[in-house]
A and B are shown apart, each in its own frame.
Chain A
Amino acid sequence: MSTAANAGFSLMANLPALQVVVPMVAAPICTFLRFRNGPWAFALLVSAATFWISANLLMQVLGGDVISYEMGGWAPPFGIEYRVDTINAFVLLIVSGVSLIALPYALRSVEREVPRDKHHLFYAAWLLCLCGMLGITITGDAFNIFVFLEISSLSTYMLLASGRDPRALTAAFQYLVLGTLGATFILIGVGLLYIMTGTLNIADLAERLGPVSDTTSVRAAAAFLTVGIALKFALFPAHFWLPNGYAYSPSAVGVFLSATATKVSIYVLLRFQFTVFGDIPAFAELDFATLLLPFAVVAFLVGSTVAIFQTDLKRLLAWSSIAQIGYMVAGIGLGGIDGLTAGIVHLFNHAVTKAALFMAAGAIFLRVGSMHIDKLAGIGKTMPFTTLAFVLAGLSLIGVPTTVGFISKWYLILAALQHGATGYAIAALVLASSLLAVIYVWRVVEVAYFREPATNHEVTEAPLSMLLPLWALTIGCFYFGLETGYSVDIARAAAQSLLGVTP
């Protein structure tokens, strides 16, 4: 259990609460900081603090402990419990880490893409979004998940629409419509569970669900929750909000959200699937994650195919995200320690890879002013460092050995091969989809290196504040591809804890 709750206020003992409270309190403060770069610096500071907290939390639970924190001193199941175990500590680290590394990058990008008088609101929304995602991850209460989901969603709508591109408004509106629908489904699911069990605490739900598990209400709850959450992580065909949302929002938002928002939703899926419904025998034959498997396969095939035909670089990356989400869900759908490990490790690996790619795209946008692929001619000469980083991260997207993308696919294929003929087919499709990724990455490489730059427009290398985070992540793609000790081991530990297997 938690490190002893000492008398009086102990910083270390209250870390779970601080994880959420710090960005939440910081957000309104941020709106008062209206001087140049003030909101940004403040957000960076807060982000660093949350990252430090998540790192500490992960350290505390890596040994297999579970932190149970009683919000306001109310004991569960009556009060709200914050519960940290390996898996959500891992997700917390990803979210706060991405925020921390995306913010330095955001400075120049936001300066250009968001009107100056909106900066304080932009960073406040950023912090709220961070708070929402951390809250979703850390809370042990089903209804609390919904509340934080709404906090993160509302701030996401704002972030998406904050740029100058008018198309972002319709994209944000579309996400508003669909996201509201998804949240409603989740609320209905949670409501049904509450009716059937009388509790909202996740650990408590899992215990009380047993006797009533074979009822239509619980099954309906499972269906509503799965579909509602699937919308949030943009599983094909619930992906409609994603491509435009990521493509037309400010670059920094694309970096931040593509690496975090969908990952958090997948965590929620894991939580409901394994912790809440996991012990129920009725679901063993056809659990709701298994039903996701065909969707996942279609998602990575369609996502990769459509990405090939995109003319907008960010849309290309967004469609590639839909494919990558397919890989994660495929891992979860395949099940077992290996499948789950593959899915969870890809959460991390894709966060690193896609954040790097969106950063490169954003840097190019800053200098070129367009995301149309034809406008990127010769950019390999004018922006050599940015383009090189893009290509290296692209290799990771494809899954070339020594990159993190390879690690993910390796485990995914290992998991698939345990499933007989179907598994072989899925493995073959994963490889085919990787080949499609070669094509769409190559399209960019070809334009960037093999076409002469337009002479009338001087393009210079991206500023250092963007290059540094970009290269940090790009190196991360390779570092974690070679040194799998952290990511894979943590993912495996998380998978084991989800499945209730002792290592």
Chain B
Amino acid sequence: MMWTDLPPGLILLLGGVLAAVLPHHGRKALMLVLPFVGFWQLIDVPNGDHAVVSLFGAELVGSRIDSLSLVWGYIFYIAALIAGIFHLHVRDRMQDVAALTYMGSAVGAVFAGDLISLFIYWELTAVTSVFLIFANRTNAGFRAGIRYLIVQIASGVLLLGGLILHWRGTGSVEFGNIGIDAPGGLLIFLGFGIKAAFPLLHNWLQDSYPQATVTGTVILSAFTTKMAIYTLARGFPGQEELIWIGVVMTAFPIFYALVENDLRKVLAYSLNNQLGFMVIGIGIGTELALNGAAAQAFSHILYKGLLFMTMGAVLYRVGTVKATELGGLYKSMPMTAGFCIVGAASMAFPLFSGFVSKSLIISAAAGEGMWFVWAMLLFASVGVFVTTGIKIPYFAFFAWPKQTQKTCNEAPFNMLLAMGVSAALCIGIGLFPGYLYDILPYQTDYEPYTGSHIVTQMQLLLFSGLGVAWLMRTGLYPAEMRSTLLDSDWIFRRALHRVWRATVEWGTETSGALTGGMRGWVNTVIGVAGRLGGPGGLVSQTSKPGTGVFWLTAMLGLYLLVFGL
């Protein structure tokens, strides 16, 4: 009874609490054993709602085990185990605790049957995971962590607001199909959207992941976004807006990935792109498409984790993952290089995991007659292979070694083991997709390896590979540069900052009016007039012809509007 009603997330969460007091070996043992315990619980406990509690007149479901949540449960435990192995050499209590509690919260969120439990786990993932970024103990890491935390908490606040509205609107907190028609649903949708890294809400991902520790990035990459994908699949299947959001998501990160220099950031962009596939699948909402989204989440955790692990190993041994400073590492780290190629191939090549899961979504789009979406998916699938699948192994392991390149050792054994397990799973799924298809939410007899699928995909891949080779030979491929890319987070980090500063400055000036009586009012009026009309003020600027032309045109527009009507 106790076993059945134990919410799945608590296994890792309580393990995390325990790890706070255990010595090093005890913590490592927990990290290796608990995933097996959790996995066994999922197999052992029958499907259905467990741990049902009534609280404040709302029915809380601590553990809802069904075909959809199980897919994520399985892969989360697999990822937790692989991360545990990869993490084995790290002697850092903070990271161990953070990793265990974070993974536990993510599992808990997946099995939460009501929105209140979901909200609690949702915020827990934010608070726990930020320590994986702090654990780097650098100033940049700390600041990135704070930014990450603000965004994650904002997502939770949206979720909370939405759930209250939803509760009052429908009288139920059950986490089922929500829909965005009601304001509550819309808020929840946005809250999910932040964690799923929707376009323009995505920057926290590329900002924070590359700042985390070697193993922290591997762990982060597996859980937060995929948990958000799960909640979208649960709450908003078939929501048509998701298709278009997903299309944008698949397309725009490719260009950033192409020119980015930090290879872990390249992976973060391509992670964003892969999420787009899942979002599209959920947006299409047919059984085939939802199966595709789940399968894609499953295989994506494996191969993206694998790629992050290889880059983590490089960072661990070389100390940098800048494309400008790497190259020729295949000599010193041959195994890692091999695993990296497997991870890259898994994104799109037949006989690897990504192909069998993406095919489901691409076929679903074709099946619904969405040819534009279908074409975009093909483009994105090839594009991400070119920008990430070729770029990562090439620049890290095969590019001409830079002058400063030092020789280094192969990655530690535990890292190689973790990578090996992931690589084996990637290939295994690619060779025997039936096992993956069996655990998908809906029954399927889909066959990925039809002649046309393979031929289409291979033609696209080989021609694009040929194109890249030609571009590199002719020097047209964008050279890797030490630079900072301006993404839309500039808006949040700079423009909003300016607005905030201006508000504060204006506020100081105007607040005098409220506190200083008559004298305060006079000072305020003078201050505001000076700000507007003084040197460089808004209205006293006269130096730019463009401004003049703008106002003149605006004036004409007003007149035409008034007299034209």
Residue numbers of A with Cβ under 8 A of B are 170, 173-174, 177-178, 181-182, 185, 216, 219-220, 222-224, 226-227, 230-231, 237-238, 240-244, 286, 288, 291, 295, 302, 305-306, 308-311, 319
Contact = CB atoms under 8 A, between A and B. Distances in A.
Given A222-B563, A302-B539, A237 B555 contact: yes
A291 B562 contact: yes
Contacts of B532: 305
A216 B565 CA distance: 8
B528 to A, nearest CB: 10
A178 B548 contact: yes
B552 A243 contact: no
B46 interface: no
Contacts of A242: 542
Interface string B33-45: 0000000000000
Contact of A309 (B533, B545, B562, B564): B533
Contacts of B542: 174, 240-244
B563 A223 contact: yes
A286 B559 CA distance: 11
Nearest to A283: B563
B564 A223 contact: yes
Nearest to A241: B548
Contacts of A237: 551-552, 554-555
Contacts of A182: 552
7 contacts: A185-B556, A223-B559, A223-B564, A224-B559, A237-B554, A240-B548, A288-B559
Contact of A308 (B533, B544, B563): B533
Nearest to B533: A306
Contacts of B563: 219-220, 222-223, 288
Contacts of B529: 305, 308-309
B549 interface: yes
B26 interface: no
B434 to A, nearest CB: 70
Given A244-B542, A305-B532, A311-B535, A238 B548 contact: yes
A227 B552 contact: yes
Contacts of A219: 563-564
Contacts of A230: 555
Interface in B508-565: 529-530, 532-535, 537, 539-540, 542-545, 547-549, 551-552, 554-556, 559-560, 562-564
Nearest to A176: B545
A302 B539 CA distance: 8
Contact of B543 (A177, A244, A288, A319): A244
A72 B55 CA distance: 100
Contacts, number: 88
Given A244-B543, A306-B539, A220 B548 contact: no
A308 to B, nearest CB: 7
A178 B552 contact: yes
A432 B367 CA distance: 72
Contacts of B552: 178, 181-182, 227, 231, 237-238
Given A173-B545, A237-B551, A223 B533 contact: no
A178 B545 contact: yes
Contacts of A220: 560, 563-564
A291 B559 contact: yes
Contact of A223 (B534, B535, B545, B560): B560
Contact of B537 (A173, A185, A309): A309
A231 B559 CA distance: 13
A227 B563 CA distance: 12
A309 B539 CA distance: 11
Contacts of B545: 173-174, 177-178, 240
B559 A181 contact: no
B534 A227 contact: no
A123 B79 CA distance: 86
Question: Nearest 6 CB-CB pairs, A to B?
Answer: A240-B548, A223-B559, A219-B563, A306-B533, A237-B551, A309-B534
Contacts of B564: 216, 219-220, 223
Nearest to B556: A227
A22 to B, nearest CB: 34
A178 B542 CA distance: 12
B559 A226 contact: yes
A202 B534 CA distance: 43
B512 to A, nearest CB: 19
Nearest to A237: B551
Residue with the highest number of chain A CB atoms closer than 10 Å, among B539, B549, B552, B564: B552
A212 to B, nearest CB: 14
A242 B530 CA distance: 20
Contacts of B559: 222-224, 226-227, 288, 291
Nearest to A311: B535
Contacts of B539: 302, 305-306
Contacts of B540: 306, 309-310, 319
Contact of B549 (A181, A222, A305, A306): A181
Contact of B533 (A170, A226, A238, A305): A305
Given A174-B542, A311-B535, 6 more contacts: A177-B548, A182-B552, A220-B564, A222-B563, A305-B532, A309-B535
